[in-house]
A and B are shown apart, each in its own frame.
Chain A
Amino acid sequence: MRATEPNETGYAVNDGVRCYYEVFGSGPVTILLMGTFPVVDGRQWKAQVPYLARHFRVITVDARGNGRSDRPVGEAAYGDEDCAADAAAVMDATRTESAVLVALCSGIKWSLLLATAQPERVRALVAIAPGVHPLAPPGYPLQAVDHERWRGEYREWVDYHTELLLPEPHSSKVFDDLVGWSLQTDAETLTCRVHAPLRPHDEDEAVALSRALSCPVLVLHGTEDRCQPLARGRRFAELTGGRLVVLEGAGHLPHARHPVLVNTLIKEFVDMHTAPSKRESAWLFARERKRKALWVCSPIGLGHILRDLAIARALRETVPDLEIHWLAQPPITAVLQAEGEIVHPASAELASESAHWESESTHHDLHAFYAMRRMDEIFCANYMLFDDVVRETPYDLWVGDESWEVDHFLHENPERKIAPYAFLTDVIGFLPVDADGDPREAELCADYNAEMIEHLARYPYVRDRSVFIGGFGELPDASFGPGLPGIREWSAKWFTAVPYVLPFDPAAYRRPAALRTKLGYGNGFPLYVAAVGGTAVGRDLLELTAEAFALVRKDQPDARMVMVTGPRLHPDSLPDVEGMDKYGYVPALFEHLACADVAVVQGGLSTTMELVGARRPFVYFPLAHHWEQQHFVTHRLEHYRAGIRMDYSATKPADLAAAMLLAHGQRPAYRPMRRGGSAKAAAQLATLIHR
């Protein structure tokens, strides 16, 4: 899933060559994200677009030779002047009088040529790793693709080239993206570009064009850039009178690898050189400020919000004057609104995580690690929104419940931390789900874990509190990967554990008969409850359950089933079965689960642990390839000796019906849960506000 979709797309035609563009956002200032050497298309700016489009009108271009733009034949078609004219054609086609140009590498030459030909159209230029080739000799011999010599070896060249551009550790996702874009074109096309007529012709012309550039210029250049030497960026900044920001340790693609820094630099620079869209800004005298907390709640499942509300209630008992703003997205915003909580208005701008998870899942199969990894764009967009929000309102505390984006980017950009920050989670680290069949997955999981471990070790002050929900013994007894520490040992060092947080007092739910009367279900017949959490991922499981329940009715003709489809699945979209009632979103779902003689659920942690707390028998289906459900939840439920675990792909309706009948009438002997989790978690947070 993309984090934000364009509001206009089209082709600009320049001398018969079609150039694809996309337009995002709106406003008086347009930012044109230029094309570059065609190993990438406009998607190279995916970490910039959502953030910049929040503030400006943004246009991306696929350079000729890649993406959806044409791939004309012949060296003559890829000259710098043609590419510059493409950008002008896109500006014409999008009715853009003038724009701030943001360009990478070769894109700077095209910007320079565009500004020379039509200076009134270029308001400012952000030049990332400027590739104005005659300005300084290359520091490193980069082997260009050459069709004649490289015939049949394009893929090897792509790997070589991509690695060269990304010297930073933990760049695997950017690497995969870049390889993917490079494979959208071919050696023949790139060879044409390499041998195309170049401008500026020589150093004199490069100097003259750079000096003549009259607009404000910002140059960003990494010290480890193997494509464009830093000396080139420095010279370009000197000649244009621009400001140079040297990015220590960065390679050729800082916008992709260090997006928070690059985004904020672009925003600051554009604001500086254009009339601000926001005419009035305010700063509130510190002593006048009310105590405020921003609570970022992961929308993956509905469980987080219920525990967060329980912790927030306990926190307010200690800090009664605390105003909590929730940065959250559907479906949990519905829960918050029902509770009368303050949902921060920027929440509406969050890129949807739920939609992403749904798009990644099929047939009760969700490769959660890969899906999360592919959420890089959404994470970056949502972090940037957070970054805006915490600068618009001064908060006294940030709380993130599995706020992975906030946590990751704060560690990548520790200077962005400006308030106490507490991180809560019930899962620590990635474990491969198919270690034998997919070595790449094992390697990537270990790399992600290593990055997290490095982050905390290097910047321990980023998190003021790390709270693990549950006991360390409930974590899998495994290592983070080859050469990395054990999950339990490391977590015990870096986290404070609090007992599992239930949204209710389990003691109040130990008598299902009374509860059934209270909720109007009545007694004297077997009652089954099926629920699949807050996303639409569980549709297949619900369909299986409906079929199984029909079979159960053959043995237990008076059996009834309550099927809760959740807020994102319409009950009518599921089959009707005699004796089965279907509901969409049900508040306080745990009460209904606590009525069940047997519950059928996914392997989500919150729902299964609520069943453990209420001591109800249940059958659960961890999502296939879901690292958390496969490892962490399963391990935790085994720790509590709870639940019958089943595998969706190996389960026929008759198997499930048999399991439901088996579980019916069982008296669970679960290991008791420690209590007081919400108060203990709240006490951790309160110490950050009260001394």
Chain B
Amino acid sequence: MRAREPDQCGYAVRRGVRIYYEVFGAGPTTVLLLPPWAILHSRMWKLQVPYLARHFRVVTFDPRGNGNSDRPIDPFDYADAETVADALAVLDDTGTASAVGVGLSMGARVLLQLAAAHPERVAGAVFVAPTIRLGDVLPQCWVQPFDVELAEGTGWATYNANYWRHDLAGFAQWFFGEIFCEPHSSKQIEDAVGWALDTDAETLVATERAPHLGDRPTVGLPVAAQLAAKVRCPSLVVHGDDDRIVGSDTGVALAEALGCRVEIFQGGGHCVHARHPVRFNLVVRQFVEACVGRHDACN
């Protein structure tokens, strides 16, 4: 049983690729929960949707490559630019003029590009554990030899195309153990591994080979900073200081570049929204209300 069923669902179709979306609740303010890397899909927001939908209209969509969205095989279909365009298509199809975006990890990177290029569509932006290259330190996932032959391995070495083909579940189990580094996270890990297995190794390999923004040492460092400088909407960065995927110094640097506040979840890992949902939900609600102003009586 889901805690909250969507009021509307459908597909936005772009160049033959179907992107599945869901709409919950109603009201003048829409919150767009962006998908992260396609190892997860929109159900990852399951602890946010029921609460946020009480206060706002909420739109989620599955990333190309997982959930109910299509799984193209060309790596170029997984470029950030495609996901940005998917988000716009979902906004169009759901009749959403503008929304407050919430993006986690790679979803935060997509949100940054969306907000910079389409300011009229983004009323506010929450960047959670942004996988964005802003400093000298690269996230671990970008420094692994991705294509070496590897049938066995441990730790970050399993961030590897051949390993995934061989044992995606094993990789996911380890990877989400890193993401949910907080004790007592068994349900979160189990959920995430399940969502990872909703897709397949070849799709994830394709996503990994896609050209992303500033995610290779060859791409100029200032790109993310230049984008941040173009963001006009109110912003908030949320980051766990025990994030083992992207260190919280990245979140702090992004907040600095955006001139916005950063909320640090002390002791939090990469997916604070799932492990610390109450605090996260309250922070998001307060931020959304601040972005759009309120027209309701509080009592």
Contacts and interface: CB of A to CB of B under 8 A. Distances in A.
Interface in B241-299: 241, 252, 255, 259-268, 276, 279, 283, 286, 289-290, 293-299
A127 to B, nearest CB: 14
A246 B263 contact: no
Given A279-B255, A285-B276, A288-B267, A245 B297 contact: yes
Interface in A312-361: none
Contacts of A272: 286, 289-290
B27 interface: no
Contacts of B266: 282-285, 288
Contact of A282 (B184, B263, B295): B263
Nearest to A234: B297
Contacts of A285: 182, 265-268, 276
Given A284-B266, A285-B266, A241 B293 contact: yes
A438 interface: no
Interface string A239-261: 00111111010000000000000
A283 B293 contact: no
Interface string A277-311: 01111111101100000000000000000000000
B183 interface: yes
Contacts of A288: 266-267
Contacts of B298: 243, 245-246
Nearest to A277: B261
Contacts of B267: 284-285, 287-288
Contacts of B276: 283, 285
Contacts of B295: 237, 241-243
A248 B298 CA distance: 11
A237 B297 CA distance: 10
B293 A244 contact: no
A216 B261 CA distance: 20
Interface string A185-223: 000000000000000000000000000000010000000
Contacts of B183: 287
A273 interface: yes
A508 interface: no
A507 interface: no
Contacts of B241: 282
Nearest to B298: A245
A275 interface: yes
A61 to B, nearest CB: 27
Interface centre among A271, A280, A287, A288 (most CB of B within 10 A): A280
A274 to B, nearest CB: 10
A180 interface: no
Given A246-B299, A285-B182, A285-B276, A279 B261 contact: yes
A280 B259 CA distance: 11
Contact of A283 (B184, B259, B264, B289): B264
A74 interface: no
Contacts of B268: 285
Contacts of B184: 287
Contacts of B290: 271-273
**B interface, how many residues as a size bin?**
20 to 34
B263 to A, nearest CB: 5
A285 B265 CA distance: 7
A275 B259 contact: yes
A486 interface: no
A276 interface: yes
Nearest to A247: B299
Given A272-B289, A283-B266, A288-B267, A246 B297 contact: yes
B263 A283 contact: yes
Contacts of A241: 293, 295
Contacts of B264: 280-283
Nearest to B251: A280
Chain A at the B interface: mostly helix, strand, loop or mixed?
A: mixed
Nearest to A285: B267
A280 B262 contact: yes
Contact of A280 (B252, B279, B294): B252
Nearest to B267: A285
Nearest to A274: B290
A237 B294 CA distance: 10
B224 to A, nearest CB: 19
A562 B298 CA distance: 62
A281 B287 CA distance: 13
A282 B252 CA distance: 12
Interface centre among B183, B184, B255, B294 (most CB of A within 10 A): B294
Nearest to B287: A272
B204 to A, nearest CB: 30
Nearest to A243: B294
Interface in B132-158: none
A248 B299 CA distance: 8
Nearest to B296: A243
A241 B294 CA distance: 8
Contact of B261 (A243, A281, A283, A287): A281
A245 B299 contact: yes
Contacts of B299: 245-246, 248
A240 to B, nearest CB: 10
A216 B294 CA distance: 9
A610 to B, nearest CB: 44
A50 B259 CA distance: 28
B293 A243 contact: yes
Contacts of B283: 283
Nearest to B293: A216
B233 to A, nearest CB: 13
Nearest to A218: B294
Contacts of A273: 290, 293
B83 to A, nearest CB: 29
Contacts of A275: 259-260
B95 to A, nearest CB: 22
Given A242-B293, A281-B262, 18 more contacts: A241-B293, A243-B298, A244-B297, A245-B298, A272-B290, A273-B293, A276-B261, A279-B255, A280-B262, A280-B264, A281-B261, A282-B263, A283-B263, A283-B264, A283-B266, A285-B276, A287-B183, A287-B184
Interface of A: 216, 237, 241-246, 248, 271-273, 275-276, 278-285, 287-288
Q: Which 4 A-B pairs have the closest CB atoms?
A: A285-B267, A272-B290, A284-B266, A288-B267
25 contacts: A242-B295, A243-B293, A243-B296, A243-B297, A244-B297, A246-B297, A246-B298, A272-B289, A272-B290, A273-B290, A273-B293, A275-B259, A275-B260, A278-B261, A280-B255, A280-B264, A281-B262, A282-B263, A282-B264, A283-B265, A283-B283, A284-B267, A285-B182, A285-B268, A288-B267
